[in-house]
Structure 1
Amino acid sequence: MTQRFSTLFMLLVLLALTACQPISMDTKPSAPEMTSLISEAEKRGDYAVAAEDYLAQAAESEGALKSAFQYRAAMMQYELGELAEADALLAETNLEQLSSREQLTANLLRADIAVLNLDGQRALTHLDKIDFNSANQAQQKRILELRITAYDLTENMLEKALAHIKLDPKLPESERENNHLVLWQTLLKMTPQALDLYNPGQPPAEDSGWFALAYAFKAYENNPEAMEVAIEDWQYSYPNHPADIEQLKKSIKTPLRLPEKLDLIAILLPDSGPAANAAQAIRQGIIAAHFNARSNVRLQFYDVRTDNTADSNNVITQYEKAVADGANIVIGPLDKTSVELLAKHDELTIPVLALNRINENKTTEQHNFFQFALAPEDDARNQAEYAKKKGYQRAIVLSPRNEWGDRVAEAFTNEWQKSDGQIVTRAKYDESENDYSHILTPILGVENSNQRYQNLRRTLGLSLEFEPRRRQDVDFLFMVGRPLKARQLLTQLRFYRSGQLPILATSHAYGGEPNARQDIDLNGLIFTEIPWMFSEQSEQDPAYAAIRRQASGDVGTFIRLAALGVDAYRIIPFLTAMSHSEDEKYNGATGVLTVNQQGQIERTMTFTTIQNGLIEPLNNE
């Protein structure tokens, strides 16, 4: 999703500009009246008070003045993150009574809110009301960015591609390469026939060149020799085109092609070492899925040593042994070192479905190397996307003081800030402690509330009734914690007046086994979870019953890992289609699965909450 429009600076600049425009006396308030609309509360940044002031004045006004007050109230609501209220106010406002600049701003804002609500068609309706040529350069850029996202939501690849092309000259040089790559991926989702029919120009025009190049790749994707000839012809027709052909070639992942009939699946997992317990749960998941499928395919397990250095790692030897044994595909390895070594191997003659993910700053050129993991970073990114969809803007981040906590918090922060989300404060807690008052009262602002009370009491010399209040400048708190700490933290957060502040977390906060008496402390927590954690879904899966009988110890972790093994086995017949298109989905035990251009299997999980101590899907999320 593109970044959200309307930083505070841009909105105030636009508002100031509108206040200075010539206004017709018979339809709009006079210039002095318009200037007086900007309240003192807005000037000092107190948007909640400003919104109330504007609404009160709108109720006492009529005609254009009423519309102007409603417009400003909507702007304040937007700045407060109250998107539904802002949109409703603008819907009630007679925009035709506003200046042309205000009308443009209002329609942009409504389109932005529609995009945040994933309503592409409504966003386009608002954008169609804007005179593109009357907008300034920054506004034109934003209009096109919103159109791109809206067309993506409505799956209109043609218009999305044309919008990317129109956006390109408005971007700084540093952003054009990424725009070209996204444009390229958009064009590749169109058929050769559509690329040829809707080509918007003729050689050597730049827009025509993009469509013609995509046509050459799509029409001859199964005929490399013909494709090379077509590309040479294209280069002759479009000699100065900005497309970097070699870079675009790299972005095209060669689709996997498995034999129609599999004989042997090799599984590379450790029998001992630090990853042995996790490997055992995954192994049980693979076996349960295999038994349930009643397949004639053979399974063969290969021990990969994980308690060693990279120099003595045996993963390459075991992979080559699997190839020699006639395996058609490999599931594994599990530990990150082995995955990275196999990803760098000179030639992978059979596909690999690794059960971990290589570091993001490392890449692989392998075309039949897939990565499937239950990475905690994925949970964190999902929660950032959830918060963005809800229209939140300001967050508190709370995580344990260790490497795991830093990883998850960093993943959330990076994803959150990509969409212009703000981190108001970040705090770390020690998992060995039980009392977190020294951490929670500062981040919730309770100390400041107490201090204000003490100052007021000293000033007045009176004893006053007082109830501490938490800070009001945050929209939610993102918490990283395992079940015991999550329960402790939520209990103490409520004690220190967190009130209705939404608390978001990763799946690690939930133990995975129904225990209403214990988990009632998690009531209201919002987190993501795999489908197998919901009885109505897991009970329909025959493999789940076999897994559940074997689960012991940390039941939640065991079931999640076993579900990973089940999906790793079951997804194999679908990998060919999924590697062709990111639109191909598989509904698995760990979530809705897709394969991205990097060969990573991405999971979309269910947003979940706890009610009366029991897990349940979050409605309408």
Structure 2
Amino acid sequence: MTQRFSALLILLALLTLSACQPISMDTKPSGPDMTTLISDAEKQGDYAVAAEDYLSKAADSEGALKAAFQYRAALMHYELGEFAEAEALLAETNLQQLTSREQLTAHLLRADIAVLNLDGQSALQHLDNIDFASANAAQQKRILELRITAYDLTENWLEKALAHIQLDKLLPETDRENNHVALWQTLMKMTPQALDLYNPGQPPAEDSGWFALAYAVKAYENNPEAMEVAIEDWEFSYPNHPANVDQLKKTVKAPVRLPDQLDLIGILLPDSGPAANAAQAIRQGIIAAHFNARSNVRLQFYDVRPGNTPDSNNVIAQYDKAVADGANIVIGPLDKLSVEILAAYESLSIPVLALNRVSQNVENTNFFQFALAPEDDARSQADYAKKLGYKRAIVLSPRSEWGDRVVAAFSDEWQASGGQLVTRAKYDEAENDYSHILTPILGVDSSNQRYQNLRRTLGQSLEFEPRRRQDVDFLFMVGRPLKARQLVTQLRFHRSGQLPILATSHAYGGEANAQQDIDLNGLIFTDIPWMFTEQSEQDPAYAAVRRQASGDVGSFMRLAALGVDAYRMIPFLTAMSSSEDEKYQGATGELTINEQGQIERLMPIATIRNGLIEPLQRD
């Protein structure tokens, strides 16, 4: 159970306790007092039985009593984690017939469920039905916490910041520092103009101080000297303000600074070794983007020899050589060890746009990580499934470190949004027949077993057709093209029927082949914009790269697109590193930079129809 659920259940307990106290005029019930009607099943913690009991009584009741029983049944479903059922009951209940306490709790429940469904607008509508002034301190705290989450979902930074300020007064001293950090991060999403225009007060008021401090930092983020002067003026105007200025300034990631006119871009890529083919595709993408831009900037390539240890690796020497040659920024290196070595280098005098992603935290604001990470695909599919309203998933992946990485990213994103992972199966890529794996996860073997039991009981044969399990919404599959075609075909053979199958871009070869890919019909997967004809034809760099493609064309084009975006994104790094809301529409997807300097990709969704790729609407 998440912290959000726990907080609301604590509030429900507080409401139950307060129901035993004398009722004042402003909380006079408009319906029956349910404290005298609570079922034995609920008292014993058997919420499923209690819900059925309340629904049965509601069916035999009318008016306020019916509403009270429906409300209580909704609480039981909420306790069981059955949020859709709880919301449906509350939506059809006449809340005006409940007591004031029950009405407040009902609106809080509906707001919380809306937040769980990532529907911030509906959550705010439910919270607007509550008279904040009449709520007690615990209730007010919960209302503000839900408002903060809902404003975050709707990206209403002003109201979110004001809610943080209002919440601060209700928090114990030990919890205020975390609230201050969250408030500060919200203010940093606002423009200097908005911070100045919507400042809610005047010095030395506390709420005014937060906005004024944020303005001093945001307005002068590219001028450190002017920022220091502005902060000194702020400290004079707000002498007793609770903001820890030094600590908050550390949370602000300074944007990368590049000259208005670049002279030289250094590119660290291997000429030989295991990564040479990938490096060649990336190199072609960079060159194509450069010629398309008709830029006067010079490109200089440096051969990185990725040895197995830092001592045998020359990435530092090549970086230093690029700096000495006058490079303004470096693209690369590509292999993970070289990236790790360069990330730890203390003398990064010019920015680095590395072409891989590392696990350790990199604090240097001059270091960015850009990769075609399979985790991005997985998280994107989890987000898509949630938007489709899916709740329960089964997962099928190869027995490998790569498969585990992809599934871990999917599972983390899926479960964080409230989704359930029903079961996971692993397959061996060396095999070709996966019946022994697919029938159990689809539940077909259980269907066969039920038939055998029934036949033995009746002593006669029956007409029978096995059915897959009905308690899942979709299957998330991890696999490369050959295995993906085999798995989809066998899933259909084993009666997956209309069960949606979601996958990552690795399932699609990347080159149109209707005869081969007809086995993938119906598969839903993510892929880069360059895989779609309409978008690739609009990019002149695509045609130039496509003429150079050979071998695994899909992989070559995806890596070339990485090179194109690495080159084209350079002028936008300052804005993107200043705010996660700044987006770049690239050949590899919609790109943003997170707080760790990692470039995250949101990719289009596609399906296969008649053996050919076809875009789907993400929203």
Match of residue 466, structure 2, among 468, 471, 474: 468
Instruction: Give SS of 1:550's match.
Output: coil
For residue 369 of structure 2, what is the aligned residue in structure 1?
371
Aligned equivalents of 2:172, 2:310: Cα separation in 1: 43
Aligned equivalents of 2:600, 2:58: Cα separation in 1: 48
Tell me if 1:432 matches 2:430.
yes
Aligned equivalents of 2:103, 2:52: Cα separation in 1: 20
For residue 586 of structure 2, what is the aligned residue in structure 1?
588
Distance 1:104 1:612, change over 3 A: farther
Aligned equivalents of 1:170, 1:520: Cα separation in 2: 60
Question: What's the offset of the Cα at 1:310?
Answer: 2.1
Aligned AA (2:146): L
Query: Superposition pairs for residues 548-567 of structure 1, below 5 Å?
Result: 548-567=546-565
Deviations 1:133-183 (A, max 9, x none): 666877655533432233234432221012234445777999766544332
Aligned equivalents of 2:109, 2:570: Cα separation in 1: 45
Tell me if 1:527 matches 2:517.
no
Aligned AA (2:327): A
Deviations 1:483-507 (A, max 9, x none): 1212222222233333333322211
The question of whether the paired residues in 2 share the 8 Å contact of 1:567 and 1:588 is answered with yes
Tell me if 1:128 matches 2:128.
yes
Deviations 1:82-120 (A, max 9, x none): 988876765554332344455445434543555466554
Distance 1:33 1:476, change over 3 A: farther
For residue 402 of structure 1, what is the aligned residue in structure 2?
400
For residue 306 of structure 1, what is the aligned residue in structure 2?
306
For residue 347 of structure 2, what is the aligned residue in structure 1?
347
Deviations 1:262-290 (A, max 9, x none): 22211111111111111111111111111
Distance 1:331 1:120, change over 3 A: same
For residue 505 of structure 1, what is the aligned residue in structure 2?
503
For residue 479 of structure 1, what is the aligned residue in structure 2?
477
Question: What's the offset of the Cα at 1:260?
Answer: 1.8
Tell me if 1:547 matches 2:574.
no
Aligned AA (2:474): F
Distance 1:7 1:248, change over 3 A: closer
Aligned equivalents of 1:436, 1:79: Cα separation in 2: 39
Q: Percent identity?
A: 78
The question of whether the paired residues in 2 share the 8 Å contact of 1:124 and 1:150 is answered with yes
Tell me if 1:253 matches 2:253.
yes
Shifted more, 611-620 versus 503-512: the winner is: 611-620
Deviations 1:281-312 (A, max 9, x none): 11111111112222222211111112442221
Deviations 1:575-602 (A, max 9, x none): 2222233222221111111222322222
Distance 1:416 1:371, change over 3 A: same
Aligned equivalents of 1:292, 1:167: Cα separation in 2: 52
The question of whether the paired residues in 2 share the 8 Å contact of 1:8 and 1:79 is answered with no
Aligned equivalents of 1:12, 1:205: Cα separation in 2: 31
Query: Superposition pairs for residues 70-109 of structure 1, below 5 Å?
Result: 90-109=90-109
Aligned equivalents of 2:5, 2:91: Cα separation in 1: 18
Distance 1:8 1:588, change over 3 A: same
Distance 1:166 1:45, change over 3 A: same
Instruction: Give SS of 1:367's match.
Output: coil
Match of residue 493, structure 1, among 491, 500, 506: 491
Instruction: Give SS of 1:288's match.
Output: helix
Distance 1:589 1:333, change over 3 A: same
For residue 573 of structure 1, what is the aligned residue in structure 2?
571
Aligned equivalents of 1:434, 1:173: Cα separation in 2: 62
Aligned equivalents of 2:35, 2:346: Cα separation in 1: 74
Aligned AA (1:612): N
Question: What's the offset of the Cα at 1:35?
Answer: 5.7
For residue 264 of structure 1, what is the aligned residue in structure 2?
264
Aligned AA (2:539): D
Deviations 1:318-348 (A, max 9, x none): 1111112122221111111111211221222
Query: Superposition pairs for residues 101-180 of structure 1, below 5 Å?
Result: 101-112=101-112, 114-115=114-115, 119-132=119-132, 142-167=142-167, 179-180=179-180
Shifted more, 402-411 versus 289-298: the winner is: 289-298
Aligned equivalents of 1:527, 1:175: Cα separation in 2: 43
Question: What's the offset of the Cα at 1:377?
Answer: 0.9
Query: Superposition pairs for residues 188-199 of structure 1, below 5 Å?
Result: 188-192=188-192, 194-195=194-195, 198-199=198-199
Instruction: Give SS of 1:499's match.
Output: coil
Distance 1:369 1:32, change over 3 A: closer
Question: What's the offset of the Cα at 1:233?
Answer: 6.7
Distance 1:554 1:76, change over 3 A: farther
TM-score (normalised: structure 2): 0.84
Query: Superposition pairs for residues 289-368 of structure 1, below 5 Å?
Result: 289-359=289-359, 362-368=360-366
Question: What's the offset of the Cα at 1:479?
Answer: 1.7
Distance 1:199 1:31, change over 3 A: closer
For residue 418 of structure 1, what is the aligned residue in structure 2?
416
Question: What's the offset of the Cα at 1:69?
Answer: 7.2
Shifted more, 261-270 versus 113-122: the winner is: 113-122
The question of whether the paired residues in 1 share the 8 Å contact of 2:427 and 2:437 is answered with yes
For residue 276 of structure 1, what is the aligned residue in structure 2?
276
TM-score (normalised: structure 1): 0.84
Shifted more, 556-565 versus 340-349: the winner is: 340-349
Tell me if 1:619 matches 2:617.
yes
Kindly report the root-mean-square deviation, in angstroms, between the aligned alpha carbons of the 2 structures: 4.2
Query: Superposition pairs for residues 19-38 of structure 1, below 5 Å?
Result: none
Distance 1:12 1:166, change over 3 A: closer
Distance 1:391 1:467, change over 3 A: same
Question: What's the offset of the Cα at 1:530?
Answer: 1.0
Shifted more, 243-252 versus 552-561: the winner is: 243-252
Distance 1:182 1:407, change over 3 A: same
The question of whether the paired residues in 2 share the 8 Å contact of 1:37 and 1:69 is answered with no
Aligned equivalents of 1:525, 1:244: Cα separation in 2: 52
Aligned equivalents of 2:452, 2:33: Cα separation in 1: 47
Distance 1:552 1:59, change over 3 A: farther
Aligned AA (2:496): S
Distance 1:405 1:532, change over 3 A: same
Aligned AA (1:481): G
The question of whether the paired residues in 2 share the 8 Å contact of 1:332 and 1:353 is answered with yes
Aligned AA (1:255): P
Match of residue 441, structure 1, among 439, 442, 456: 439
Aligned equivalents of 1:304, 1:11: Cα separation in 2: 58
Aligned equivalents of 2:501, 2:81: Cα separation in 1: 17
Distance 1:420 1:588, change over 3 A: same
Distance 1:253 1:163, change over 3 A: same
Distance 1:12 1:205, change over 3 A: closer
Distance 1:529 1:33, change over 3 A: farther
Instruction: Give SS of 2:547's match.
Output: helix
Unaligned runs of 5+ in 2: none
Aligned equivalents of 2:49, 2:424: Cα separation in 1: 24
Q: How many residues end up aligned between the 2 structures? A: 613
